[in-house]
Structure 1
Amino acid sequence: MRTMSVKEIRNRINGQLIQGSDEFLVNDITYHQRKLGQGKLLFLREKSHINWDVISNSTPCVIVTDTVYDKLKAIEKCTVIKVQDIERSFWRFVSSYRNQFSIPVVAVTGTSGKTTTKDMIKHILSFDRNVTGTKTSANSRTHHLTYLLSIESNTDAAVFETAVGAPGDVLSASRYFKPTIGIITNIGVTHLDGCKTPEAYFQAKAEMVQALSQKGTLIINADDANTRKIKLDGFQGKVLTFGITHHANFKASKIQYGYNGMKFALTFRSKTYSVFVPGYGVHQISNVLAAFAAAYEMGISIEKSTKRILSFRNLPAHLECSKGLGGCIIVDDTWNSNPISLKAAFRVLNGIARGRKKIALIGEINALGELSLDIHKETGEMIAKNGVDVLITVGSMATEMAKQAVKTGLKGEVHSFPDIHGVYPLLEKMLDEKSILLIKCSASDHSIINVKKKVKRLRPK
């Protein structure tokens, strides 16, 4: 955050100084009482649960409030700013802080691929620009203010993830970030515990169109059936598309699996470029196409992006390959799990198996609400179409996935476990140098993660 005086902040939110000094310098701002500390400013929005001890122990600090409490006035070295409406003042500050900076701000949403796409954009830009943005995949609404304040006077660009846990999340994020470029990687099915229906989830992702100003740039996946349904009639900004199977501004062809990555030809404006992107899978090509499109909008040529992406490295557990028990190959995709990423993982498994025995250890898909059973069965059909020599599932819903896979033609062995007990002994018997094991679950599935740690070992030097 750019250091600001109390006087400057008061002027931005139309506040009245009740006690303390206008000259006091603020180095951070929060709306969580537990994050208050010396030199920080707190917007006191949680009126029903005020922890006076936390405030007392955080001085010198600044409190913005629309109710001046006697207990607050009694705290020494606590500067107090009185406003008429705490919520309105908070958003006034957010807007004024963001408006200080005339820089490109990218917002990335999608069911899968948004973390990798965001990291690719940051990587490409970082060669000659000061870039801030979302760290790993910590993209919840509670991080928005912190990320906004990471934009400082020397920041050249910002790249943020805008996740969807419920309708309105993308629009809420846009109030903080005011993106100039918006990306929708794809729209599948997840977070139905918050969105309730696939239609509501679709509309929540499509909020990206509203999140952009009419001068903004929208970058969307031409191959994704749901993304193609987004209505753009009222959008007057620029639209760029990326894809492999459908016509697109940034189009990939001649795709090959290479050593630790993917080779392909990129066609843009009638010119073709040879590209290698680290990381396996056709989905990785979609990610890099979206990243190249965003970088191009920010003045980075395709030639430069092609060179810079060579040094990109995925986050751990994103289809990460290593040696494992018995000399097998482990494909670790345990960062997150949804139907789109599961399909991508099985495609990678088939793409790199090269004659090895294909074994898949699969956990349940979370956050599917009332449609959980139906979606697990649909995922089972996908597994049957892609094929695997051995399917191992953990959990009752994953068992239904396995049953549906068998029902729709899966020919391999199937082992379904209600819980993790018995999985590792089975893998001990199966894994050798002629096998490849895909482990697919969410990071919160600790039982499978623990088995993963047991079967993985470092690649020999």
Structure 2
Amino acid sequence: MKEFSIKALAQIIKAKFDTRYSMLDARISRHTSDERQATGDDFFTGVSTDSRTVKACDCFFALAGENFDGHNYMADAFAKGAVCAVVNKNRVTDAAQRGIVLEVDDTLKALGDFAGEYHRQAGYKVVAITGSAGKTTTRQIAYHVLSQYYGVYQSPKNFNNNIGLPLTLLGADPEDKIVIAELGTNHPGEIAYLTRVAQPDIAVITNVHPAHLEGLGDIQTVAQEKLSISEGLQPDGILIINADLVNRLNCQLPVTNYRVLTFGTSDDCDYKISNIKYESFSSSFTMDKTQVELPLPGPGNVENAAAAWAVCSRFGLTIENFSQAVKTLKTVSMRMEVIQIGTLTVINDCYNANPASMKNALEVLKNLCVEKKCRSVFICGDMAELGQQSETLHAELGAAIVKAGVQVLLTVGKLSKITAEAAEKAADYDIQIKCFDDTISTCNNLQQLIKDYDIILVKGSRIAKLELIIEKFKTHDFVTGFVTLKDEKKR
């Protein structure tokens, strides 16, 4: 971020200076130049909410949550070079003697207020992306293409909540022209708050599926929550939505002064996808009379690419620019990431899961196994936050597994046992099923269940910690139990 005045920050967040230890006029000479000291003000050049990542000249926001309290680490932040700290009222300690302290009613709200004002002053364009699935991949595709033409900053990892979004807005460098952010939710009202902070020029809804039902209740509520991203749009902004949101869910769009554009396979879409083809680890499709070769598999990624193209087109890029740029796109870690381990092909899609993303991943597995004529293995973890529909949706997944022709099903967790039972009941062919209570017990039994040339899909919600299974596959002891591709060629 560009340097920012502590005085200006105090005005934005309506902060009170703690007079017991430090005044605004107090000089911190090791962090400020003589010229700045003469102005009677101090500056900071970065923001941190984690004392472990604080750098010199940072402003430290002391956030308090269920499992942490940043106020307890104020001394650490100042020791690492923070010049000021934003704290909740009545939480100032002796650590404040080491820097300037700004007291507010709510440090989390102050962080959001500052991020919104910083965005207004910095003048960059904001693209905000939400959806039940595909947020990160859509963001990565748009970033990969746009960054070849503009200065672009994107959300680090999945910074998509009321802490991560402000940090994304504050992370942009002065030369950046575009910021691409994700907006996530698991309860009503969260997107509305985040979009008011982000004030996007372009908002994207990738899709709406049963996800986070524990907090959102039903799919209609999910749809309305996603649509609330429009509440923060700039007056001349653009809302880009999956046409399925209108056609399948019959959602009514608010009548305002922003423009709505759609993407999908329908003839009336503004960005129509056609001639879709799937290869082993890639896809191709036609948009605007141009063939796009996407180095990502599956129908979900085709839609993600279409949404990304819609974004890129609003910044003056041509479809030729887009199709050329996506050829060098790399897969996102833990999201349909294909890993070759000896003769094994592992599809690492274990970042998160909901019913729709499970079915998309199963389709990729099915197509790959048919093409390669290999055995299909699905290591299936629980799907979290599905509320009262959880058991029903886990049972429906069992039928989808059979439809995909999975030959070996290994389930991890209590809810996935329901999936296993449903798959066993639905199968009209010989399917091998094993159920495990947790990831560790699954890892301990992998060697005897996996065979050479298997194609293995690993997918579940974060609570399942299925990344441990990916690490198990990569270990020397596991790999040496299988023929390597190199050894096979020598035979």
Band of TM-score, shorter chain: 0.7 to 0.9
Residue 104 of structure 1 deviates from its aligned partner by 2.2
**Residue 423 of structure 2 corresponds to residue 440 of structure 1:** no
- Deviation string 1:248-293 (CA, Å, 9 cap, x unpaired) is 2212222222363112222x3xxx1111011111211111100000
Indicate the residue corresponding to 1:431 in structure 2. Answer: 451
Q: What secondary structure does 1:407 align onto?
A: helix
CA pair 62-280 structure 1, distance change in 2 beyond 3 A? same
Measured in 1, the distance between the counterparts of 2:88 and 2:228 equals 32
| Distance in 2 separating the partners of 1:89 and 1:389 | 53
1:9 aligns with 2:29: no
* C-alpha spacing 1:153/1:429, structure 2 compared with 1 (3 Å): closer
Q: Distance in 2 between matches of 1:264 and 1:393?
A: 34
TM-score normalised by length of structure 2: 0.81
The answer to which of 56-65 and 245-254 deviates more is: 56-65
Separation in structure 1 between the aligned mates of residue 414 and residue 473 of structure 2, nearest angstrom: 20
Tell me the amino acid that sits aligned with residue 337 of structure 2: E
| Equivalent position of 2:30 in the other structure | none
2:360 maps to 1:344: yes
Q: Given that residues 459 and 466 in structure 2 are in contact (C-alpha distance below 8 angstroms), is that contact kept between their aligned partners in structure 1?
A: no
Identity of aligned residues (%): 26
Aligned 1:403-414 pairs, distance under 5 A: 403-414=421-432
Give the 3 Å change call, closer, same or farther, for CA 372–427 of structure 1 in structure 2. Answer: farther
Q: Distance in 1 between matches of 2:211 and 2:470?
A: 21
Q: 1:100 aligns with which of 106, 121, 126?
A: 121
Contact 1:59-1:78 within 8 A present in 2 as well: no
AA aligned opposite 1:375: L
What is the letter of the counterpart of residue 112 of structure 1?
A
Deviation string, structure 1 residues 49-104 (Cα, Å, up to 9, x no partner):
843644664666224568588856x9545234567987876555333211113332
Who is 1:39 aligned against? 57
121-130 or 415-424, which moves further after superposition?
415-424
2:294 maps to which of 277, 285, 288: 277
After alignment, is 255-264 or 11-20 more displaced? Answer: 11-20
1:239 aligns with 2:263: no
Secondary structure of residue in 2 paired with 1:132: strand
Aligned length: 454
SS of aligned partner of 1:141: coil
Unaligned runs of at least 5 residues, structure 2: 28-39
2:413 matched to which residue of 1? 395
CA distance in 2 between counterparts of 1:343 and 1:320 reads 16
2:240 alignment partner AA: I
Distance 2:92 2:413 in 1: 55
CA distance in 2: counterparts of 1:235 and 1:290, whole angstroms: 22
Distance 2:330 2:469 in 1: 24
Match of 1:289 among 291, 294, 306: 306
Separation in 2, partners of 1:77, 1:393: 53
TM-score (norm 1): 0.86
Tell whether 2:378 aligns with 1:360. Answer: yes
Select which of 349, 358, 371 maps to 1:333. Answer: 349
Q: Aligned partners of 1:330, 1:124: CA distance in 2, in Å?
A: 27
Aligned partner of 2:34 in structure 1 is: none
Deviation for aligned residue 1:119: 0.3
For 1:226 and 1:367, the matched residues in 2 are separated by 26
After TM superposition, give the deviation of residue 36 of structure 1 in Å: 6.0
Deviations 1:191-245 (A, max 9, x none): 2333344443333222212232342111111235787433214233111111125
Distance change (3 Å), C-alpha of 1:320 and 1:82: closer
Paired letter, 1:357: R
User: In structure 1, what is the equivalent of residue 37 of structure 2?
Assistant: none
1:143 maps to which residue?
Answer: 164
Name the amino acid aligned to 1:392: L
CA distance in 2, matches of 1:348, 1:116: 16
Determine if contact 2:159/2:168 at 8 Å carries over to the other structure.
no
